[in-house]
Amino acid sequence: MTVDIHPLTPLLPAEIVLSHEILKSSFAFNRTAEQSFHFKCITLHEPPKADLLAWQTGGPKPLRCAYAAYYIRNTPSFFESVIDLETSSLLSTVPIKAHFHGPADGPEILLVEKVALEDPTVQAELAKLELPAGSKVVSDPWIYGSDGIDDERRQFQCFLYLQHDEKLPDANHYAFPLSVSPIVDVATMKVVRIQHLPCGVDETPTLPKPYQVPPPNEYTPESQELRTDLKPLHIVQPEGASFTVAEDIPDSGGAIIEWQKWRFRTGFNHREGMVLYELSYAGRDIVYRVALSDMCIPYADPRSPYHKKAAFDLGDAGAGVMANNLQLGCDCLGSIHYLSSTISHESGRALIMPNVICIHEQDSGIGFKHMNYRTNRAVVTRARELVVQSIITVSNYEYILAFVFGQSGDWHYEVRATGILSTSPIDQGLEVPWGTVVHPGVLAASHQHIFSLRVDPAIDGQGNKVVIEEAHAMPLGPQNPHGTGYITKETELTHSGGYDTNTAANRTFKIQSQTRKNAINGANTGYRITVPPFQKLLAHPTSYHHARAEFGDNAIYLTKYRDGEFYAAGKWTNQSRGGEGVRAASDRKEELDGQPVVWVQFGLNHVPRTEDFPVMPCEIIRVGFKPHNFWERNPGIDVPPSSQERNKSILLGGKVGTGVNGDATSHRQGQVEAKVGMNGHIEKVNGCCTK
């Protein structure tokens, strides 16, 4: 490759094709239609962190390499390779250990659907259901899961549903779950057995019988009587957006984004989707690398085969693979910049992924306000946020994933969960304690959504530490005679391990520089992590769910940095056994030695309700990162005050609001506006925010 490419720029289409060609010329087997490469990914092999940091300070540029994971088609043989793109040479090829499996991919899932539905034995079982004429059957292939019983070969468990009208391809088939469940062996692409799902209160299989067709329950707008009283809402930025985007190479997914003192680099890959690098604010480093590492959705239904149902959506498929093509006016509002990228197809060709990252600004209410009640002067500044967002569809579910940046040096990671519940059949009139009947004959099992955000910090550069801060009441005594005093205390976490929150002690976790001090109080500069409370993994410690979801039992895991250690559940989650993820890594009990990696867990326990069907309103969870003694004062103090001249709000009803005494100062604030000049100073005063 002759193009000068940044070491962190995602692979370009030509590099993906080149990687495939290098492997074809290096691999010794009879390449026929039956025996060829089946790629799970060809993606950037990120350079070692030490090499990249050295290059940034004048050292040699790191090698640009690709990483490939692939099967030999129609066999269980699974390999990973690293390819030097500069010399067009193969650096390494390693067979993956037995019983470790790669993720699913789109063409493979479609083929599994076809195999399951065309199998004569499956069709014979479906015929016993006596399904109505004009309907068709839809298959949802699920990663088979693990329970230690006949689960070593790579398989899919197919859950079947009725599409009540074959002329309506968007009809909600999850309202019509069927009791026949074929299992497909991936290497042979054959149905190896058929399970009859339990429809009662225990795991006794329900043998096929004529299906009682419930009424439809649709989510599409054409199936609703839509509201007519909702007026348009336009997000308008007449002078354009306040952020800039400088793409490394158009449509690569790699770019430098700058906004309100923030600066960071974007990346994109098949598994994590969005990755952000080199976050800084006002020229000071904060994070080296951050990305959603893993998620697990373990289901509560204890009956076979549902006891194996635990989706690892990033490891089993991939956030990049499942990323939506985002659309103006729907997924993102306002003045939008999209980033596109490229991943690999299972054939080894490049697959263009348009509009997978959306960048826009949004109003977030009041940022800060104070009114001097003696003078009636109010200073009000509205908060604006920068949103860097991607949306993924995982079969029935959608996740809106966003990095959200504030003007005061704070940032958040936000997940919105929506989509359609994964359903199963239940005999009408029954209820079970591990789920909710959301439609006649339709059970939605309770399930947890547990996420792990991997943060490689760089608070004021390399050399960081993690501390917990707790608040405790002072004992009664001469220093606290009235019993009202309390103190805060910091404790450094010096070794890898799993740690939890403690609301009773107001425990917070902070990442700090080991060397830089705050000029006002001498404290180590740092960022505080706001971990939302969530119920930890409910599966028993002896269960396969617990072994596999290694990140589900602690709010915070700390490990010492190691190159390539990116995934909280381990590199290979498909039918995994555990022992390769963050719990195992933290059990090394290594001294962190200024190189902590912080894994932040958060989530929700989704106990379904009828209001979640046929499509679920968004559930929103956020992890927060706020500067803590990082600055000497509010870093957003220089955000211009709000003014009617800039914001152009409209008073409905055409009448000025009146105060208690009938005047126009209902909030006891004078009507003044401020205009900020080119030099950043107030030039004109005639509004509501300064005087």
Could you give the residue numbers annotated as active site? 313, 397
Both structure tokens of 240:
């354009």
Whole-angstrom CA distances from 358 to 6, 234, 353, 394, 619 are 22, 18, 13, 19, 20
Locate the DSSP E strands across 411-549. Answer: 411-419, 423-425, 435-439, 442-445, 447-457, 464-473, 486-493, 497-499, 508-517, 524-530
Neighbours of 618 (CB within 10 A): 12
Q: Detail the DSSP E strand segments found in 607-664.
A: 616-628
CA–CA dist 415, 619 (Å, integer): 8
- Asked if residues 245 and 257 have their Cβ atoms less than 8 Å apart, the reply is yes
Structure tokens at 55: 């290059």
CA distances (Å), 354 to each of 268, 342, 438, in order? 12, 8, 36
Cα(503)–Cα(507) distance, rounded to whole angstroms? 6
Q: What is the rounded (10 degree) CA torsion for 338, 343, 347, 348?
A: 130
- Give the list of residues 6+ apart from residue 495 with CB closer than 8 angstroms, or none: 558, 589, 590, 591, 592
- Assigned token pair, 24: 């074809």
Contact 103, 571 (CB under 8 A): no
Say how many C-beta atoms besides its own lie within 10 A of residue 334's C-beta: 17
CA distance 535 to 373: 44
Give, as one character, the DSSP assignment of residue 332.
Answer: B
DSSP-derived 3-state class of residue 684: strand
| Contact call for residues 196 and 181 (beta carbons, < 8 A) | yes
What is the distance of C-alpha 12 from the center of its chain? 24
Sheet arrangement for strand 65-72: 37-45, 65-72, 78-84, 89-95
Rounded Cα gap, residues 137 and 422, in angstroms:
16
Count of Cβ atoms closer than 10 Å to residue 200 Cβ: 13
Q: Which secondary-structure segment (H or E) carries 273? A: strand 273-281
Would you say how long the chain is, in residues?
691
Please tell me the distance from the alpha carbon of residue 652 to that of residue 629, in angstroms, as a whole number: 43
The number of beta carbons lying within 10 Å of the beta carbon of residue 177 is 26
What stretches of 14-109 adopt beta strand conformation (E)? 37-45, 65-72, 78-84, 89-95
Q: Residue 635 class from Cβ within 10 Å (0-12 exposed, 13-18 middle, 19+ buried)?
A: buried
What phi and psi values does residue 567 have, to the nearest 5 degrees?
-120, 120
* Beta-bridge partner residues of 456: 289
CB atoms within 10 A of CB 26: 12
Distance of CA 8 to the CA centre of its chain: 20
Which residue has 């895991």 as its token pair?
557
